[in-house]
Amino acid sequence: MNSISKTAAKIKEELSQPNEKSDAKQDGMQHTRASLGESLKKERKNKVMHGQYIRNIDRQLISEEDMFLWLSKGDLKAETESEIVAAQDQALQTKYYATKILDTETDSKCRLCQQFDETIDHIISACLILAKQQYIKRHDRVCAQLHFNICKETGVQLDKKHCMNMCQKTVETRKGGKVTTLWNQQVQTDRTIPTNKPDIIIRDNEKGTCMLIDVAISGDRNVI
């Protein structure tokens, strides 16, 4: 009986040893990976142009995990991901990039408005010419997708033609109209309010409450 117990104890000890080594090895790999990640981040952050995005995130106390969550989902094509990352790194062929980095241009002003430097931030959120149409179209496309997702969650049956130009002004759930979703409609108020037209209104007809959703698409450096 004693010999069996000794043998079992010896086997248990032998089996536990590889696991301890494996755990130690795993911890070492995780520590090395974390150290390497911090080193790469510091090196990138110190770059004058390509480090702007990382510096802005740190300065505004934005969650890095949430900011880069889209990269871990794999919903976009590799070409799309690379183009977005290049835009974040200020590495697209703008006039500012050509003037300050490549030295192939002498004028860095925006080719549309001719007022400010043609940087990535200027193109996506600050150009007065693009603001008249392109920014509005982008905003409406985002709202239309959000409206579509809300309708699906509340049980509204939508056809394949549901898009930015064909969003129904008012839709109700089929279950007795418990929820009403309003799209781009003015709200009647007791006193005059200039901005009384939220993008989406979700009205709970049973509780008598409303949720107002207003979408803003701003540049990262404009996020508070």
State how far the Cα of 80 lies from the Cα of 94, in Å rounded to an integer: 18
Residue 159: pLDDT above 70? no
Confidence grade of residue 169 (pLDDT, cut at 50, 70, 90): low
User: Could you identify the residue written with the tokens 């600050």?
Assistant: 126
State how far the Cα of 90 lies from the Cα of 130, in Å rounded to an integer: 19
Answer yes or no: pTM beyond 0.75.
no
Confidence grade of residue 127 (pLDDT, cut at 50, 70, 90): very high
Q: Determine which helix (DSSP H) or strand (DSSP E) holds 130, and give its type and residue range.
A: helix 128-131
Q: What is the pLDDT of residue 152?
A: 82
Q: What is the pLDDT of residue 16?
A: 57
Residue 2: pLDDT above 70? no
Partnered with residue 209 across adjacent β-strands are 204
Say which residue, 167 or 87, is predicted with more confidence.
87
pLDDT tens, position by position, 49-93 = 777 777 777 766 667 777 788 888 878 888 998 888 888 888 888
- pLDDT over 70 for what percent of the chain? 75
Q: What is the pLDDT of residue 113?
A: 93
Average pLDDT, the chain: 79
pLDDT tens, position by position, 6-53 = 665 665 565 555 554 555 656 667 777 777 777 877 887 788 777 777
Average pLDDT over residues 156-160: 69
Confidence grade of residue 3 (pLDDT, cut at 50, 70, 90): low
Q: What is the pLDDT of residue 224?
A: 47
* Inter-residue contact 185 to 201 (CB < 8 Å): yes
- pLDDT over 90 for what percent of the chain? 15
pLDDT tens, position by position, 180-195 = 888 888 888 888 888 8
State how far the Cα of 221 lies from the Cα of 52, in Å rounded to an integer: 10
Q: Give every CB contact of residue 191 below 8 A, 6+ residues apart in sequence.
A: none
Average pLDDT over residues 155-168: 65
